[in-house]
């Protein structure tokens, strides 16, 4: 079992309110990722679950037991740190065995578990080495091994991949996913990388300034972000935003500013009608834009001027100017566009997002 | 272009001789080492060699003396005061080092925590180390003075004693007194050096150990202590050398008394060599320290190297 529940959890550092009223139920075997920019309170929340940070108010419970006052060692959790935190004076074997030795496991059981973990992580050849004789990726595996051997109820990961180079990070990400599928242990994972969050998490918790912005499955966050922050944070390249005014004309709604005039799709008219005459923020993901053709309905296209062309091979990113705004469009790699070209872009009407200009909440 | 450039350098006149000498790295290295070599030679090597020469003669103040072989060493070997001084030096060094290490480590661990006024406290801790030893030892001498002792006054008013304790008049108490002063003076060096060592240990390691189930004492023993060991060894090495050759505290507090009971190598050598004028015998006494210190240094340096290679 490994069910973690956070109820109205707060953290104050003197006058700084670092974590604000976090409520979350993490189910057994679930992989939950906390994501957000630095200083958003995600690591502090993780450390409160670990018991490394005192909880200012609220409760953290594991399998129904409130653990607020339990020291880390009694919470039956294992943690993987950003800088690995391997004991530099101990061999790989001793690093992995340390937690079991402290808990007075029999020598044979320790050897069995360490060997088991070493096999899973493919580090059997390095057991006698010291951490500094290992590469970053190998150290990361040892840190994982140290967590695995304990068979804890919950794994806690504090940005474990952020010190690896880009290629290794992608590889370890896949291995972490496999590891979780194999072990099935509840995992709480902190990262500032939204790609890691989307690929690893069964559910993703987006935080900002100590406040949970949205909790949901990765595609829910992508398809229906709760507010402008989540919309901009999830997805790469980031969503384009433009401030527009809602106009009513002959029963049709249009979103309009100096460089843009888009029809509001039929399905959204009801919801947006009460914002007529007011400013709203329109959000368009770069991948939902394409170079307009004759088959695109006129109400969903707009003119733009190319400023930068980024060739990625699989696609082309066009940085374009639309009136006073700049936007990024991810277009087909066969498109031949040059800087200063005037092109018409078309938007997928089902993929338009609208946000309240003041509250930034999704409309 | 490239060819032209090469040709022009060939065409230039060769640099002057002085400049060429400085271009030679071996010559330059030698030149840079000369000031250090001169200083070390003048103030370490020469007195050391002179001391050895002096110790095998029978020279005194005003008497050049003649070669007498190891007669001086033979003489001090049979000297009971010298034997007491040897015993005292070992006792003094051993006891003070243990206490300085223990208290210094304890202080360092306290100072490594976060608390209000941390920077101020850390600076304050260094005070005994900063005040010139002779001055602070004079203050201590007053505190241990049989008539004016503030210690006696406090103990008396607390009702713990009825008469005066003659701190520096009793051989054992005098030894304890100078040990106390040495510890007081030495702890800051240990505390600050070990604190610097502690700060290089990532707090994540202690957190990892806490999650791994290690209790505070186990975290210290399995994580902090082994990682601090190289720093500890260097600090102990310095302290042992300094304490072994200590002079000021004993000279000011007891002058080696009462009845030569608190002499160390250095104070006894001074008393014989300078006080009595038996230069050669004094030299022999101070040189008797050398093999022991040399051994200590060798052992500890080997140990430090082993710890660092691990």
- For residue range B21-38, list pLDDT tens digits in order: 777 888 888 889 999 999
Task: Kindly report the nearest CA distance between residue A20 and chain B, in angstroms.
Answer: 24
Residues A207, A269 within the same domain: no
CA–CA separation, A78 vs A187, rounded Å? 10
Domain C-terminal end among A233, A261, A286: A233
State the smallest CA–CA distance between residue B279 and chain A in angstroms: 51
Which element (helix H / strand E) includes B78? Answer: none
In this prediction, residue B309 has a pLDDT band, given cuts at 50, 70 and 90, of low
A352: domain CATH number is 2.40.50.140
Question: CA of B197, closest CA in chain A: separation in Å?
Answer: 15
Residue A363 forms part of a structural domain = no
Measured at the CA of A168, the angle between CA A164 and CA A169, to 5 degrees, comes to: 65
Residue A167 has which token pair? 């290629």
- Which of A216, A213, A218 has the alpha carbon at shortest distance from A228? A213
ipTM confidence score: 0.83
Q: Are residues A160 and A227 in the same domain?
A: yes
Domain-ending residue, one of A233, A249, A273: A233
Question: Residue A75: which residues within 8 A CB-CB, separation 6 or more?
Answer: A50, A51, A62, A67, A154
Gap from B211 CA to chain A (nearest CA, Å)? 5
B-chain CB neighbours of A50 within 8 Å are 207, 211
Separation of alpha carbons A68 and A10, rounded Å? 12
Examine the domain organization and report whether A333 and A258 are in the same domain.
yes
The residue in chain A having the minimum alpha-carbon distance to the alpha carbon of residue B208 is A85
How high does pLDDT run on average in chain B?
Answer: 85
Q: Which CATH number characterizes residue A172's domain? A: 3.40.50.300
Query: In chain B, what residues touch A51 (CB-CB under 8 Å)?
Result: 210-211
* Cβ-based contacts of A103 with chain B (< 8 Å): 213
CA distance B309 to chain A (A): 10
- How far is residue A12's CA from residue A188's CA, in Å, rounded to a whole number? 22
Question: What per-residue string of b and e applies to B53-67 under the rule 16 or more CB within 10 Å gives b?
Answer: ebbbbbbbeeeeeee
Q: How is residue B165 written in tokens? A: 């304790």
- The pLDDT score that the predictor gives to residue B173 is 87
Taking the C-alpha atoms of residue B150 and residue B140, their distance in angstroms, rounded to an integer, is 10
- If asked whether residues A226 and A276 sit together in one domain, one would say no
One domain for residues A184 and A68: yes
| Helix H or strand E encompassing A137 | helix A136-148
- State whether residue A65 is helix, strand or coil: strand
Of the partner residues B209, B211, B226, the one whose CB lies closest to the CB of residue A50: B211
* Closest C-alpha to A263, from A237, A290, A244: A244
- A102 shares contact with chain B (CB less than 8 Å): yes
CB neighbours (10 Å) of residue B19? 9
Strands A316-322 and A211-216: unpaired
- Could you tell me which chain A residue has the CA closest to the CA of B310? A89
Interchain CB distance below 8 Å, A83 and B207: no
Find, among A212, A213, A214, A210, the residue nearest to A56 by Cα: A210
Domain span at residue A187 reads 4-233
- Of A182, A154, A161, A136, which Cα lies nearest the Cα of A49? A154
In this prediction, residue B15 carries a pLDDT of: 63
- Whether B213 has its CB under 8 Å from any CB of chain A: the answer is yes
Kindly determine whether residue B211 and residue A79, on different chains, have CB atoms separated by under 8 Å: yes
The token pair at A130 is 């010291």
Only one residue has tokens 């029809």, namely: A263
Gap between the Cα atoms of A231 and A228, Å rounded: 5
Residue A276 touches partner B, C-beta closer than 8 Å: no
Q: Are residues A66 and A35 in the same domain?
A: yes
Question: By the CB < 8 Å criterion, does B201 face chain A?
Answer: no
Q: Is residue A361 part of a domain?
A: no
From chain B, pick out residues whose CB is under 8 angstroms from the CB of A71. Answer: 210
Any B CB within 8 A of A78 CB: yes
Contact A8, A59 (CB under 8 A): yes
Give the count of beta carbons closer than 10 Å to the beta carbon of residue A14: 5
| Per-residue pLDDT band at B299 (split at 50, 70, 90) | confident
Are A73 and B222 a contacting pair at CB < 8 A? no
CB atoms A89 and B227 under 8 Å: yes
Contact A361, A226 (CB under 8 A): yes
Domain boundary among A200, A233, A266: A233
Q: Provide the 10 A C-beta neighbour count for residue B241.
A: 16
Residue A163: other Cβ atoms inside 10 A: 15
pLDDT (tens digit per residue) in B169-195: 888 888 999 999 999 999 999 999 999
Claim to verify: residue A222 and residue A309 sit in the same structural domain: no
Count the residues in chain A.
Answer: 363
Is the same domain home to A153 and A111?
Answer: yes
- Say yes or no: A83 contacts chain B, CB-CB below 8 A: yes
For residue B2, pLDDT over 60 is answered with no
Are A205 and A255 within one domain? no
A262 and A209 fall within a common domain: no
In a domain, A362, yes or no: no
Instruction: pLDDT band for B14, please (50, 70, 90 cuts).
Output: low
Q: How confident is the model at residue B8 (pLDDT cuts 50, 70, 90)?
A: very low
CA distances from B107 to A146, A174, B16, B123, B217 (A): 32, 47, 60, 13, 16
Here the tokens at position B293 are 């210190």
State how far residue B210 is from chain A, nearest Cα, in angstroms: 6
Which residues of chain A make contact with B214, given a CB cutoff of 8 A? 73, 98, 102
**Chosen from B213, B215, B232 to mutate, greatest number of chain A CBs within 10 A:** B213
Q: Is B116 on the interface with A (CB under 8 A)?
A: no
B209 touches chain A (CB under 8 A): yes
Q: Do B227 and A85 touch (CB under 8 A)?
A: no
Residue A212 shares a structural domain with residue A273: no
Are A170 and A271 contained in the same domain? no
Q: Which of B138-147, B160-169, B205-214 has the lowest mean pLDDT?
A: B160-169
Of A50, A85, A130, the CB nearest to B202: A85
| Facing A85 at nearest CB: one of B204, B226, B310 | B204
Closest by Cβ to B205, choosing from A79, A87, A150: A87
**pLDDT score for B12:** 57
Q: What is the pTM of this model?
A: 0.79
* Structural domains counted in chain A: 2
Q: What is the pLDDT of residue B5?
A: 47
Q: What is the pLDDT of residues B88-114, one digit of tens each?
A: 999 999 999 999 999 999 999 998 888
In chain B, the percentage of residues whose pLDDT exceeds 70 is: 93
Cα A87 to Cα A91: distance, rounded to the nearest angstrom: 8
Scan for tokens 């250090």, then name that residue: B36
Across the beta sheet with A16-26, the strand order is: A16-26, A4-13, A57-62, A65-66
Is B222 an 8 Å CB contact of chain A? yes
Please give the C-alpha separations between residue A165 and each of A168, A170, A171, in angstroms, as whole numbers.
Answer: 6, 9, 10
Render each residue's pLDDT in chain A as its tens digit; 363 residues. Answer: 788 999 999 999 888 888 989 999 999 999 999 999 988 989 999 999 999 999 999 999 999 899 999 999 999 999 999 888 999 999 999 999 999 999 999 999 999 999 989 988 888 898 999 999 998 889 989 999 999 999 899 999 999 888 888 888 888 899 899 989 988 899 999 999 999 999 999 999 999 999 999 999 999 999 999 999 999 999 889 999 999 988 887 778 888 888 888 888 888 888 888 888 888 999 999 999 999 988 888 888 999 999 999 999 899 999 999 988 899 999 998 888 889 889 999 998 888 999 988 888 888
CB contact under 8 A, A52 and B211: yes
Please tell me the distance from the alpha carbon of residue A126 to that of residue A54, in angstroms, as a whole number.
37
B213–A103 CB contact, under 8 Å: yes
Task: Please state whether beta strands A260-263 and A77-80 pair in parallel, antiparallel, or not at all (unpaired).
Answer: unpaired
Tell me which residue has tokens 């005292």: B88
The SS3 call for residue A307 is strand
Query: Between chains, do B222 and A98 touch, taking CB under 8 Å as contact?
Result: yes
Cβ contacts (< 8 Å) between A72 and chain B: which residues? 207, 210-211
Which residue on chain B is closest to A51 by alpha carbon? B211
């Amino acid at each position: 079992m490994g069910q973690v529940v956070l109820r109205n959890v707060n953290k104050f550092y003197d006058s700084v309110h670092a974590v604000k009223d976090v409520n979350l139920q993490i189910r057994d075997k679930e992989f939950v990722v906390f994501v957000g920019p630095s200083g958003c309170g995600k690591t502090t929340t993780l450390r409160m679950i670990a018991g490394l940070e005192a909880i200012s108010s609220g409760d953290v419970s594991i399998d129904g037991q409130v653990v607020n006052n339990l020291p880390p060692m009694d919470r039956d959790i294992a943690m993987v740190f950003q800088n690995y935190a391997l004991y530099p004076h101990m061999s790989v074997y001793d690093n992995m065995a340390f937690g079991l030795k402290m808990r007075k496991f029999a020598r044979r059981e320790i050897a069995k578990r360490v060997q088991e973990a070493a096999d899973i992580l493919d580090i059997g050849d390095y057991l006698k080495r010291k951490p500094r004789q290992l590469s970053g990726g190998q150290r990361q595996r040892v840190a994982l091994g140290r967590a695995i051997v304990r068979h804890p109820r919950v794994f806690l990961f504090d940005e474990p991949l952020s010190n690896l180079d880009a290629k290794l990070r992608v590889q370890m990400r896949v291995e972490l996913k496999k590891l979780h599928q194999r072990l099935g242990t509840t995992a709480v994972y902190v990262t500032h990388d939204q790609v890691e969050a989307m690929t690893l998490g069964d559910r993703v918790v987006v935080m900002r300034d100590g406040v949970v912005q949205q909790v949901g499955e990765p595609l829910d966050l992508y398809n229906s972000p709760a507010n402008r922050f989540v919309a901009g944070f999830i997805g790469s390249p980031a969503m384009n935003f433009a401030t527009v005014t809602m106009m009513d004309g002959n029963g049709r709604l249009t979103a309009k500013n100096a460089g843009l005039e888009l029809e509001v799709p039929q399905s959204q008219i009801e919801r947006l009608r009460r914002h007529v005459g007011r400013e709203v923020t329109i959000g368009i993901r770069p991948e939902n834009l394409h170079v307009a053709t004759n088959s695109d309905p006129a109400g969903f296209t707009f003119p733009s001027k190319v400023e930068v062309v980024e060739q990625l091979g699989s696609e082309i990113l066009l940085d374009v100017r639309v009136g006073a705004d700049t936007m990024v469009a991810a277009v087909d790699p066969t498109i031949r566009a040059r800087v200063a070209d005037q092109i018409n872009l078309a938007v997928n009407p089902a993929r338009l997002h609208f946000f309240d200009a003041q509250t930034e909440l999704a409309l | 272009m490239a060819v032209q450039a090469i040709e022009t350098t060939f065409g230039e006149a060769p640099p002057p001789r002085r400049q060429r000498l400085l271009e030679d790295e071996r010559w330059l290295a030698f030149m840079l080492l000369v000031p250090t070599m001169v200083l070390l030679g003048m103030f370490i090597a020469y007195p050391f060699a002179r001391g050895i020469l002096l110790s095998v003669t029978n020279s005194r103040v005003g008497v050049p003396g003649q070669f007498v072989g190891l007669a001086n060493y033979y003489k001090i070997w049979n000297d009971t005061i010298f034997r007491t001084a040897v015993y005292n030096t070992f006792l003094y060094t051993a006891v003070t080092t243990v206490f300085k290490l223990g208290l210094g480590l304890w202080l360092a661990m306290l100072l490594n925590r976060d608390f209000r006024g941390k920077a101020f406290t850390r600076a304050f801790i260094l005070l005994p180390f900063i005040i010139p030893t002779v001055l602070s030892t004079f203050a201590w001498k007053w505190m241990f003075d049989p008539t004016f002792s503030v210690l006696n006054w406090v103990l008396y008013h607390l009702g713990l004693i009825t008469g005066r304790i003659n701190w520096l008049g009793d051989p054992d108490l005098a030894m304890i007194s100078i040990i106390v002063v040495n510890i007081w003076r030495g702890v800051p060096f240990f505390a600050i050096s070990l604190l610097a060592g502690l700060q290089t240990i990532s707090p994540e390691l202690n957190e990892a150990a806490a999650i791994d189930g290690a209790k505070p004492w186990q975290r210290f023993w399995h994580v902090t202590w082994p990682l601090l060991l190289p720093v500890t060894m260097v600090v102990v090495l310095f302290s042992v050398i300094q304490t072994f050759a200590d002079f000021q505290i004993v000279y000011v507090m007891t002058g080696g008394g009462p009845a030569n009971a608190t002499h160390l190598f250095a104070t006894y050598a001074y008393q014989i060599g300078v006080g009595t004028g038996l230069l050669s015998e004094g030299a022999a006494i101070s040189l008797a320290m050398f093999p022991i210190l040399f051994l200590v240094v060798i052992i500890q340096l080997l140990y430090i190297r082993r710890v660092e290679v691990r």
